[in-house]
Structure 1
C-alpha cells in the first residue's frame, strides 16, 4: 500500500510543475500562492479539526512548507527553470531531509546515504551547466533552497507524529496566505491582481484547483501520513519518480526537449536517490538477519 500511495502522489506532484507554469501565465507568483493556500483552507476548515499541536509548531510548518518550499519553487520556475528540471532539482529534499534528520532527530546516516548525497549534488551542478534557455542560475538556486525548506518541513512533521496529516495541511495554510497577501499587494500591485482575476479562464482556473487540492491538500496529507508512520529513509526516496512524471508532463504540454545533458543530469540525480534507497534497505536487512540468527540459536 505504501508503494501504491507513493506512486499516486509522485504522479500528481510531477504533473503539478506544468500546472504551476500554466497558472503563472495568468497569475503573478505571489498572488497565485495566496490563492493556493486560501483554497487549501476554505472550505475544509469547516470540516477538519485543528491538529492538537502547539501554535508555534503549526506556524513553523506553515512557514517552511508554504513560504519556503512553495514560494521559492514558484519564483524559481518564474526565474527561468523549466517545470521538468524544477521537478528534478526539488528532489534534493531527499538529501536535505536525511541530513536534517541525522542532525536533529539523531537518525544515523550510512556511507551509502552519504554517497547518494554526493551524487545528487553532482547532478544539480550538471543541471546548472545546461544553458539551452531552460535553466538560469537564479532559478536553480531558488529551487535548491525550496528543496531545503521541504526537508525542514519533513523534519517538523516527524516531530509532530501524532498530528492529523490533513488537519496539519488545512490549518497551516492561512499562515503563508496571510503573509503573502500584503507582499503581493506591495510587489505586484492591486492593478495586476485585479487584471489577472479578470483574465482568468477555465484553463487557469483548472490549473489553480489542481495545485490546491490534488497536489497540496490530498498529496501532502498522504505524504505527511507516510512520514509519520515510517522511517525517513524509507519515505523520502519515494519521490524518485517525481522527475519522471515532471519531465513527461513538460514534454507533452510544453514540448520540452530532453537533450543528452538533461538526461545525464537527471540520471545522476536519480542514481543518487537509488544509492540512498539501496543503502537504507541493506541497513534494515542486517538487524533482521541478526534477529533470525538469535532465534535459530
Structure 2
C-alpha cells in the first residue's frame, strides 16, 4: 500500500509541474501561490478541525512548505528552468530529508540505501550539466533551495508526530497566503493581479484547481501520513519517480524533447530508487525473522 500511494502521489506531482507552467501563462508566480493556498484553506477550513500542535510548529511548517518550497520552485520555473527539469532538481529534497532526519531524529541508513541515494544524486547532477536552453543557473539555484525547504518541512512533519495530515495542510495554508499576498502586491502590482484575474480562462482555472486540490491538499496529506508512519529513508526516495512523470507530461503538453542526457538522468534516478527500496526490504526481512523467533 505504501508503494501504491507513493506512486499515485508522484504521478500527480509530476503532472503538476506542467500545470504550474500553464497557470503562469495567466497568473504572476507570487499571486498564483496566493490563490493556491487560499483554495487549500477554503472551503476545507469550515469542515476540518485545527490539528493539535503548537501554533509555532504550524507556522514553521506553513513557511517552509508554502513560502520556501513552492515560492522558490515557482520562481525557478519562471527564471528559465523547464517544468520537467524542475521536477528532477526538486528531488534533492530526498537527500536533505534523510540528512536532517539522521541529524535530528537519529534515523539510520543501510549501505544499500546510501548507494541508491548516490545513484539518484548522480541523476540530479546530470541535469545540472544539460545546457539546452531549458536550464538556467538562477533557475537551478532557486529550485535547489526549494528542495532544501521541502526537506525542512518534512522534518517538521516528523517532529510534530501524529498530527492530522489533512488538517496540517489546511490550517498551515494561511501562513504562506498572508506572507505572499503583500509580496505580490509589492512586486507584481495590483494592476497586474487585476489583469490576470480578468484574463483567466477555463484552462488556467483548471490548472489552478489541479495545483490546489489534487496536488496540494490530497497529495501532501497522503505524503505527510507516509512520513509520520515510516522512516524518512523509506518514504523520501519514492519522489525520485516524480521527474519521470514530470518529463513525460512536459513532453506531451509542451513538446519538450527527451534527449539522451535527460533519459540517462531519469534512468539513474529510477535505478537509485530501486536500489534504495530493495535495501529497505532486505533490512525488514531480518527484523521480521527476529520478531518471529522471539514470539515462538
TM-score, normalized by length of structure 2? 0.95
Residues 92 and 274 (structure 1), Cα distance of their counterparts in 2 relative to 1, 3 Å cut: farther
Whether the 8 Å contact between 1:26 and 1:204 is mirrored in structure 2 is yes
Residues 66 and 121 (structure 1), Cα distance of their counterparts in 2 relative to 1, 3 Å cut: same
267-276 vs 34-43, which moves further:
267-276
- Residues 62-141 of structure 1 correspond to what in structure 2 (within 5 A)? 62-141=62-141
* 1:168 matched residue in structure 2: 168
Distance 2:280 2:100 in 1: 16
Residue ranges of structure 2 left out of the alignment (5+ in a row) = none
* 1:212 matched residue in structure 2: 212
User: CA offset at residue 77 of structure 1?
Assistant: 0.9
- Residues 5-44 of structure 1 correspond to what in structure 2 (within 5 A)? 5-44=5-44
User: CA offset at residue 190 of structure 1?
Assistant: 1.1
Whether the 8 Å contact between 1:128 and 1:136 is mirrored in structure 2 is no
Residues 7 and 114 (structure 1), Cα distance of their counterparts in 2 relative to 1, 3 Å cut: closer
Whether the 8 Å contact between 1:233 and 1:277 is mirrored in structure 2 is no
Report the 3-state secondary structure (helix = DSSP H, G, I; strand = E; otherwise coil) of the residue aligned with 2:48.
Answer: coil
Residue ranges of structure 1 left out of the alignment (5+ in a row) = none
CA displacement, residues 179-204 of structure 1 (integer Å, 9 cap, x when unaligned)? 11111111111111111111111111
Distance 1:275 1:96 in 2: 19
Say whether residues 1:152 and 2:120 are aligned partners: no
TM-score, normalized by length of structure 1? 0.95
* 2:262 matched residue in structure 1: 262
Whether the 8 Å contact between 2:238 and 2:273 is mirrored in structure 1 is no
Whether the 8 Å contact between 2:120 and 2:240 is mirrored in structure 1 is no
Whether the 8 Å contact between 1:26 and 1:200 is mirrored in structure 2 is yes
User: CA offset at residue 295 of structure 1?
Assistant: 5.8
Distance 2:94 2:8 in 1: 18
User: CA offset at residue 153 of structure 1?
Assistant: 1.0
User: CA offset at residue 152 of structure 1?
Assistant: 1.2
Q: CA RMSD in A?
A: 1.6
The structure 1 segments of at least 4 consecutive aligned residues displaced by more than 6 Å after TM superposition are: none
Distance 1:129 1:172 in 2: 36
Distance 2:137 2:272 in 1: 22
Distance 2:112 2:178 in 1: 42
- Residues 231-242 of structure 1 correspond to what in structure 2 (within 5 A)? 231-242=231-242
Whether the 8 Å contact between 2:107 and 2:231 is mirrored in structure 1 is no
